[in-house]
């Protein structure tokens, strides 16, 4: 399966998130229809499914766990750190505080350290930044990166269970644990922030698991077209929230993997670079910055076009100057195949 559309699929998923967040962050009536068409929830879960497929491939192709961990670190961390620095620069430009107060504040130090260890939720904002906007966070998209790293850590254990108990038996047990976790915190739990807890690990694991199983189980992969078609009919037919909790991981995962591998001839977008990770990481602070400057209030569509151009430029720069450079060679001096959350 050398020819595929994973690069194109990931760019599409990243752009879905950009469109959805434009509506969510700006609260502009001009973009109300975005939320009807572009579902960031589907896009994020589609990312997890493609990650499961590609990262499982990476693990099974690694010489050992250390080699696997190094590849994962090289792929995800340099651009992630660049995104944190990017947010700090934007924060310093727009903060209502003096620069001395900004850089020496406890909130700033907490932001840098919490985000550096993938704990964006501990300190999502910077002092004196975006305080007058509907959302105060610098980069609300970073919450998924923590989950992505946790999924990476689960892969060796997941493969061990597959080998010990068989793929189908172990996968079914892991799948049920994940969806039951989501069911409990969305339907049974009565405490605070149940939905927020549900979308954390292991709630997202079922999507990653579907991708992993489709890579390992070739018989299922060869039937992927029919699984995806059946999934579309099921999604149309089923409207109950309870049923969707159990069905969505299979449906979302099979549809995304099918379009990435089998639906159309390879578009070859990957030969230009892998820009989806940069689009995902940097779009949120760019939209927030333009909002703080009144751009979306003055002319929503002009601001949106500026956002898209800016995100594209920064994503290309991230790939050319950071991501591709780090991925060019691994520790043994051999080339590293690249993908947004995979290889």
Task: Flag whether pLDDT at 273 surpasses 90.
Answer: no
Q: How confident is the model over 170-179, as a mean pLDDT?
A: 96
Long-range own/partner contacts, residues 78-81 (CB < 8 A, 24 or more apart): 78/322, 78/323, 78/326, 79/277, 79/278, 79/281, 79/318, 79/322, 79/323, 80/118, 80/142, 80/145, 80/281, 81/116
User: 2 pLDDT band (50/70/90 cuts)?
Assistant: low
Q: How confident is the model over 138-157, as a mean pLDDT?
A: 96
3-state secondary structure of 227: helix
Tell me the per-residue pLDDT of 53-93, one tens digit each, with 9 for 90 and over. Answer: 999 999 999 999 999 999 999 999 999 999 999 999 999 99
Tell me the per-residue pLDDT of 301-322, one tens digit each, with 9 for 90 and over. Answer: 999 999 999 999 999 999 999 9
- Residue 178 or 242, more confident: 178
Tell me the per-residue pLDDT of 82-126, one tens digit each, with 9 for 90 and over. Answer: 999 999 999 999 999 999 999 999 999 999 999 999 999 999 999
Q: How confident is the model over 190-198, as a mean pLDDT?
A: 88
What integer pLDDT is reported at residue 278 of this predicted model?
96
Task: Flag whether pLDDT at 267 surpasses 90.
Answer: no
Task: Flag whether pLDDT at 337 surpasses 70.
Answer: no
64: how many CB neighbours lie within 10 A of its CB? 8
Cross-strand partners of 335: 329
Report the alpha-carbon distance of residue 127 to residue 102 in Å, rounded: 6
What integer pLDDT is reported at residue 331 of this predicted model?
43
Residues 137/124, Cβ–Cβ less than 8 Å: yes
What integer pLDDT is reported at residue 239 of this predicted model?
80
Report the alpha-carbon distance of residue 300 to residue 297 in Å, rounded: 6
Cross-strand partners of 224: none
Report the alpha-carbon distance of residue 114 to residue 81 in Å, rounded: 12
Tell me the per-residue pLDDT of 197-211, one tens digit each, with 9 for 90 and over. Answer: 999 999 999 999 999
Query: Residues near 301 by Cβ (< 8 Å), separated by ≥ 6?
Result: 30
Task: Flag whether pLDDT at 295 surpasses 70.
Answer: yes
Q: What is the mean pLDDT of the chain?
A: 91
Task: Flag whether pLDDT at 330 surpasses 90.
Answer: no
Output the pTM of the full model.
Answer: 0.91
Task: Flag whether pLDDT at 334 surpasses 70.
Answer: no
Q: How does DSSP assign 139-193, residue by residue?
A: -GGGHHHHHHHHHHHHHHHHHHHHHHH-HHHHHHHHHHHHHHHHHIIIII--STT
Task: Flag whether pLDDT at 335 surpasses 70.
Answer: no
Task: Flag whether pLDDT at 266 surpasses 70.
Answer: no
Q: How confident is the model over 326-338, as a mean pLDDT?
A: 54
What integer pLDDT is reported at residue 332 of this predicted model?
46
């Amino acid at each position: 399966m050398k020819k595929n559309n994973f690069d194109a699929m990931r760019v599409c998923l990243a752009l879905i998130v950009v469109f959805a967040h434009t509506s969510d962050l700006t609260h502009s009536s001009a973009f109300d229809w975005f939320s009807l068409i572009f579902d960031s929830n589907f896009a994020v879960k589609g990312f997890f499914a493609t990650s499961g497929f590609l990262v499982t491939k990476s693990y099974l192709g690694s010489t050992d766990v250390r080699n696997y961990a190094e590849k994962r670190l090289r792929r995800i961390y340099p651009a992630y750190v660049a995104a944190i620095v990017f947010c700090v620069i934007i924060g310093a430009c727009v903060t209502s505080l003096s620069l001395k107060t900004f850089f020496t504040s406890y909130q700033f130090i907490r932001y840098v350290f919490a985000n550096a260890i993938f704990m964006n939720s501990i300190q999502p904002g910077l002092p004196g930044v975006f305080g007058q906007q509907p959302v105060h966070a610098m980069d609300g998209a970073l919450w998924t990166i923590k989950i992505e790293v946790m999924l990476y850590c689960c892969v060796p254990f997941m493969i061990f269970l597959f080998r010990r108990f068989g793929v189908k038996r172990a996968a079914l047990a892991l799948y049920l644990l994940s969806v039951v976790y989501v069911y409990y915190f969305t339907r049974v739990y009565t405490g605070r922030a149940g939905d927020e807890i549900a979308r954390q690990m292991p709630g997202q694991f079922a999507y990653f698991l579907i991708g992993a199983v489709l890579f390992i189980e070739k018989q299922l992969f060869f039937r992927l077209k029919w699984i995806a078609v059946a999934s579309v009919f099921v999604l149309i037919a089923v409207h109950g929230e309870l049923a969707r909790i159990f069905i969505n991981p299979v449906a979302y995962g099979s549809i995304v993997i099918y379009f990435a591998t089998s639906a159309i001839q390879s578009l070859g977008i990957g030969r230009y670079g892998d820009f989806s990770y940069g689009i995902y990481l940097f779009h949120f602070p760019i939209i927030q910055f333009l909002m703080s400057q009144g751009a979306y209030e003055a002319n929503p569509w002009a601001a949106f076009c500026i956002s898209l151009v800016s995100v594209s430029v920064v994503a290309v720069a991230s790939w050319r100057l950071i991501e591709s450079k780090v991925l060019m060679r691994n520790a043994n001096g051999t080339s590293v195949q690249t993908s947004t959350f995979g290889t």
